[in-house]
Amino acid sequence: MDFSPDRPAFFVNPDYRPMAGTNKPVIDPATLETVGAIAAASDGEIDAVLTAATKAQAAWKKLDAKSRAKHLHAVANAIEAADFTRCAELMVREMGKPYPEAIGEIANCAPIFRYYAEMARDDAGKIAGTTQAGSFQYARYEPYGVSVHIMPYNFPILLMCWTVAASLAAGNACIIKPAEATTLSTSDYMTVFRSLPEGLVSCLPGGAATAQALIASDRTHAVAFTGSVAAGKAVAVACAERMKPCVIEAGGSDPLIVSQYAPLDVAAAGSVTAAFHLTGQVCTSAERFFVVEAVHDRFVELFAERTRALRIGNGMDKTEIGPLVSEAARAKVMRLVDDAIAHGAKAVTGGRIPPAHNVGWFYEPTILTGVTPDMAIVREECFGPVAAICRVRDFDEAIRLANDSPFGLGASVFTTDLAEAHEAAERLEAGMVWVNNPLIDNDALPFGGWKASGLGRELGRQGLDAFRRSKMVIIDHRPTIQEWWYPYPDSWFRETGGRKHV
């Protein structure tokens, strides 16, 4: 069958199969209209996916690196050739992001498959200096088996491709558990995998129970998760109980520092994207701003001017700020903003539901000043269109307060002082540091967080290693009886008090 948003289905490459569960409507967060329907996987559907993945992986792991790379390049070719108009529109209507961001995310995933196709060909292991003459000693890498990919709603396709490409390149089969909020667009995207061997990639809709079942199964062997800190901890614990490796990207509350040496026009423009991209629903959004007092007022003026120019509306229209994904997501943002204002902060812009958009889960991009480090909006992850600005004395205080957080995903700095740039790279407690250009990533560099923001890394060589295990191999090409083997020669013993000791 072909995929239809109105008929819940799960995907086992190359086919869609109808789901037997109760339909749940998918609601457009901008219009509150029904977009389609989804269902949660049944035990039988989970079993069917696991059976197909296990069978497919047994053959896939035996393929040579060149053949496996050819398959991944075919996926990249399919991505580059496909018309993703419907997929992008579904994503906009499911979770609200502006159409240019949706189509860009969906269409630009081919390079990650090409990157890992070639990396897996080049990285076969390591030969070590031998510890014994005549012995060939090396490490090789092998796949885990079947990997589970539990995806978020904010970048459902891109982040899925990051880990699926690496896992396939390593020799695993992949089962994707999409976010409930973006099940339709993720399911629609699955056609790009049709050139792969049967059963190698599956997409299994459902909620937390489906994820838990996949993690608990003895037929899955590694897990990739992106989502909240609370859910990430639960996944990590479930994996630990089963000695199952996992990669956890658990979000954060990223700091952004504006130095007295910052190029303020660039800092203001960059801060608009850093704080408000995807309505602030980005794990690496800049949420906590630390602005040196010498430039504080001018920066706020420029930042507010650019923020007020942003267009709010339906993601299918010409807009930068779409709705939040749900009523609950907006309620959290409103709670944190209202609490900050109650404790002395001031809303320079925003701080309210836009009057022209009282249908849907819209909230104005908001800049708060007079924020103090003890406020809830600084201590929690907001995950909405809010920039909370703290005035600081100097760069050192900014670094100290930026690090005073349980989170450690990314951190941004605007400065033209080279010493400050290097100080920031060295001293900031985060998995990623951006100087003068926030939110950039690179397929060849590791992506992930410190502290409560995650475990392990996606992308780069570490992203490939996350989905394979090492094996030490020792080969003696001239078999010889070794002198340290049993039994020990008498000369190795000495007499002490009537007893022999080695």
Query: Which residues are annotated as catalytic?
Result: 249, 283
Peptide linkage before 263 cis (omega within 30 of 0): no
End-to-end CA distance of the chain: 72
Please name the helix (run of DSSP H) or strand (run of DSSP E) that holds residue 95, with its range, or none. Answer: helix 85-95
Give the residue from 372, 411, 399 showing the smallest Cα distance to 388. 372
User: Do 294 and 391 meet the contact criterion of CB atoms below 8 Å apart?
Assistant: no
Tell whether the torsion through CA atoms of 93, 97, 98 and 104 is positive or negative. Answer: negative
Distance CA 337, CA 334 (A): 5
| String of DSSP letters for 151-205 | --SSSTTHHHHHHHHHHHHHT-EEEEE--GGGHHHHHHHGGGGTTSPTTSEEE--
Tell me the C-alpha to C-alpha distance, in Å, between residue 127 and each of 62, 67, 255: 22, 24, 42
Per-residue DSSP letter, 242: T
Distance CA 273, CA 288 (A): 14
Distance CA 216, CA 214 (A): 5
Provide the H-helix boundaries in 309-344.
327-342
Distance CA 21, CA 188 (A): 19
User: Do 368 and 337 meet the contact criterion of CB atoms below 8 Å apart?
Assistant: yes
- 410 three-class SS: strand
Tell me the C-alpha to C-alpha distance, in Å, between residue 410 and each of 75, 88, 256, 281, 402: 30, 27, 9, 14, 10
- 281 three-class SS: coil
Tell me the C-alpha to C-alpha distance, in Å, between residue 406 and each of 16, 381, 474: 42, 10, 43
